[in-house]
Structure 1
Amino acid sequence: MHNTQDLNPNPLTKKQYFVVSSMLFALFFGAGNLIFPIHLGQLAGAHWVTAGLGFLVTAVLLPLLSVLAISTTHSQGVYDIGAPLGRYFALAFMVLIHLTIGPLFGTPRTATVPFTVGVQPMLPSSWAHGGLLLFSALFFGTAFLISYKQSNIMDMLGRVLNPVFLLLLFSVFFLGFLHPLGAAGSQAVTADYQSASFFNGFLQGYNTMDALAGLAFGVTVVTAIKQLGKTTPRSNGKVTMKAGFLAMTMIGLIYAALIWLGATTLSQFKVSADGGVAFNQIVTHYLGGAGHALLAVLITVTCLTTAVGLVAAFAQDFQKHFPKVSYHTWLAVTCFASFLTANFGLDKIISWSTPMLMFLYPFAMVLIVLSVASPLFKRDPVVYLLSVVFTTVPAFLDMVAAFPPVVSQSTFGQSLGAFQQNFLPLASLGLDWLVPAVVGAILGLAAHFLRPVLAGRTSTSSNQ
């Protein structure tokens, strides 16, 4: 039974909405959100607008839909999004999402990015491994302390860390717009972005992991809004939607600025291996030696806010579904595991996270869209089942194709790749899951709406 009345019957103030939006922004905007848009701008060059629009679909619209999915279905986490497909699927989906954005890939990246981009350039090369070990230990120790008391999360993220990050980031933007490195619209375009810039930008948005994070952060967001007295599902969902829209609008504007900034760098720098190197070049160009210190602080602050959200969401969800282990124990487990993974280094983390993202993102997108539209078909499990079943094979093929060459270029990998390219539409664009998912959804909706008609006819004929 849900409560029928809020503990706080009054509308939230503008200040309260701002704090919730600021918390959501801080949860979403982390390591990848800073480096991938800049790298996209470098890859797209003069086509930065088209590529940027594709990026905004998966990096802004989809995370916003994930927040709406949580509020529409009155869910309290990623488990509830998969629940129409049964307990075991929901549990497996929750675990995979949390491991991917948590201790295996996403959370360790929040420490390796600020170290690799901001701190390592200031250290002697012989200190690289020891420096990462010390930095990641301090980083996850701090994340653990901030998220230890759950009621602290909104205050720390929304009122303290996030404004500091924004102040630092906009100082970089101000310099970039005041004295541009070059004209973005006249820069060279890399081969992949000459004819399919929108779709390549779309796929680059996967790297932010924000659609997955939006589902996982659901429990953190719902808990924080309940602390403001909005305890009923309806009012809690309404606040979530408004705050989510404000937060994602701000993120979208920052992405556009970062992509443009990346494109302008081509006038003076070559395309870098990743956006972190490019951002380092930008800051150093404008601020010289002091730029490194600013960069280290900037990226550490934004990554810490995301790390806090990730470890808290992991611990909250796992404590809820595996209650024999306490929140604080799960928190310690995910922080320690993230610390261990971080010390493999940024390059390895990114290379091995891509296949998992290519596998999980199609399922996440299908479940998010179905959840938002679920009032139309009353969350009928048949619609979910057919959509997900039809998505499974292309998602698996995308995962194999994204593995490092030891897998993707093996005889097994090449044979699957040939099948994928020859028989699945849109495979060359990385969207081979889209048509099967739509077909599955149509069949599921047909089954849902025709079932009462067929049942009525059967009842009539039996009465006769």
Structure 2
Amino acid sequence: MLFGAGNLIFPVHLGQLAGKNWLLASSGFLISGVLIPLMSLLAISITRSNGIYDLAKPIGKRYALIFLILIHATLGPLFATPRTATVPFTIGFANHIPSHLQGIGLLIFSAVFFGIVYFLSATEAKITNLIGKILNPVFLIMLFVIFLLAFINPIGSSNTAVTAAYVHNSFTNGFLEGYNTMDCLAALAFGITVITAIKGLGIKKSKEVSIATAKSGFIGILGVALIYICLIWLGATSLNSFKLSSNGGTALAQIAHYYLGTIGDALLATLTTVTCLTTAMGLVVAFAQDFHREFPKISYKKFLAFNCFLSFIIANLGLDQIIAWSTPVLMLLYPLAISLVILGILSPLFKNDPIVYKVTTALTLIPALFDMINSTPDMLKNTQFMQAIVSFAEKYIPLFNLGFGWLMFSILGLVIGLIIHFVRSEKSLKTIED
């Protein structure tokens, strides 16, 4: 459910950016792209939540609703869903279309793509089961064939040039690159589906469900981690024959052609399109179901049509623009999501006391807003007002230059919240004894 368009392109791009420091960068990427999504599932299991809204509700119902809307908008029509069309187009078709016709090519491809997504999602066609159970594994097999050929006959050494940002901060930048997979947010959105599936196996007790989630999740993340490491290594070695690309989609297409030729191009284009189609259907259905549940006066199909149409419009901005504008949003949402996940896992320690949630989230939000501003595209960031805000943050917020301005604030909020909780608990206990 979590392995979609971004999981293919961002590891390859990371490898190209990190060069010979690819291994250190990959360790950061694996934490944010693999470990934290697993922790998200555990948080939903431990707190017995039915999804994002329930998990965030201790902070406040209004906050929980806003957070739910922001995450679904990010996973839905603003960023992740449009990406499901632009990634297969970039990987499978863009290289075969003249540059002056790529705009119209993307327009036609995305229109057909989201037309199919809407039709299959509205009719709940069972073809999705066929696609998910047969073609997705075929796609993974194709990836492993490329990996095998790459190990037997590498494009070159992984000891390649390092971009400026990865000379000294490979780990932290690799961690931040993992945000682009959006898997922490997706795990929060899809988590209840996973938990329900585990309960369907006959595992009912909360503790046993959490243990089963951890065990099965650990096996799953090992597989995903292996794919990521191979893709990152491929990206690093590809610099021996190809230039640094603006996104991992172009690089992956070049690598596939290098090893599999024209047949590989056709196979990659077909399988990437189909697998991204299933990802898109999962995203639009989850969006429509959740929003219809929260706003029942608007029908499921209307939410579905709205999502598909807006995703089609935004897809035609192109992959590079989608990535550029999604980054500041992810820099805001990810610290809030990570802190919420950690609070959910630790909740038995403080009996799910809302004060711990509220203090931690409030202090996390402040630097996260500064991180968002610092990550905006240059056309906004270079304005005098934005520069003044960034300069203030650089001066007064620890680790801000690394993109981790939220970390110390979040820890401080957790400590303060726990102190308040235990002081209150102690006073309540004394009152009862008296």
TM tier, smaller: over 0.9
Contact 2:136–2:271 (CA under 8 A) maintained in structure 1? no
1:194 and 2:189 are equivalent in the alignment: no
Distance 1:150 1:385 in 2: 40
Report what 2:388 is aligned to.
415
Which amino acid is 1:92 matched to?
A: I
Distance 1:198 1:420 in 2: 22
Distance 1:447 1:418 in 2: 33
Pick the aligned partner of 1:271 from 237, 244, 247: 244
**Match of 2:151, SS?**
helix
Aligned-residue sequence identity (percent) comes to: 52
Report what 2:366 is aligned to.
393
Distance 2:127 2:221 in 1: 19
83-92 or 265-274, which deviates more: 265-274
> What is the CA-CA distance between 1:138 and the residue it aligns to?
2.5
What are structure 2's unaligned runs of at least 5 residues? none
Contact 2:131–2:275 (CA under 8 A) maintained in structure 1? no
Contact 1:217–1:309 (CA under 8 A) maintained in structure 2? no
Contact 2:114–2:309 (CA under 8 A) maintained in structure 1? yes
Report what 1:429 is aligned to.
402
Distance 1:156 1:219 in 2: 23
Distance 1:47 1:207 in 2: 20
Distance 2:62 2:131 in 1: 33
393-402 or 151-160, which deviates more: 151-160
Distance 2:58 2:128 in 1: 30
363-372 or 120-129, which deviates more: 120-129
225-234 or 88-97, which deviates more: 225-234
Distance 1:68 1:157 in 2: 28
**Match of 1:183, SS?**
coil
Pick the aligned partner of 1:298 from 271, 279, 282: 271
Measured against aligned partners, the alpha-carbon deviations of 1:328-371 in whole angstroms (never above 9, x if no partner) come to 33223222221222122212211111110111111001001111
Report what 2:54 is aligned to.
80
Q: How many residues align?
A: 434
Pick the aligned partner of 1:310 from 283, 290, 303: 283
> What is the CA-CA distance between 1:46 and the residue it aligns to?
1.1
Pick the aligned partner of 1:369 from 333, 342, 349: 342
Distance 2:359 2:255 in 1: 48
Report what 1:212 is aligned to.
185
Distance 1:195 1:126 in 2: 39
Contact 2:128–2:278 (CA under 8 A) maintained in structure 1? no
31-40 or 312-321, which deviates more: 312-321
Indicate how the Cα distance of structure 1 residues 164 and 326 shifts in structure 2: closer, same or farther if over 3 A, else same.
farther
Distance 1:144 1:222 in 2: 27
- What TM-score, normalized to structure 1? 0.88
1:24-423, aligned counterparts within 5 Å?
27-148=1-122, 152=126, 155-156=129-130, 158-184=132-158, 186-222=159-195, 224=197, 239-423=212-396
> What is the CA-CA distance between 1:239 and the residue it aligns to?
4.8
> What is the CA-CA distance between 1:152 and the residue it aligns to?
4.9
Measured against aligned partners, the alpha-carbon deviations of 1:174-198 in whole angstroms (never above 9, x if no partner) come to 21111101121x2222221111110
> What is the CA-CA distance between 1:323 and the residue it aligns to?
2.0
- What TM-score, normalized to structure 2? 0.93
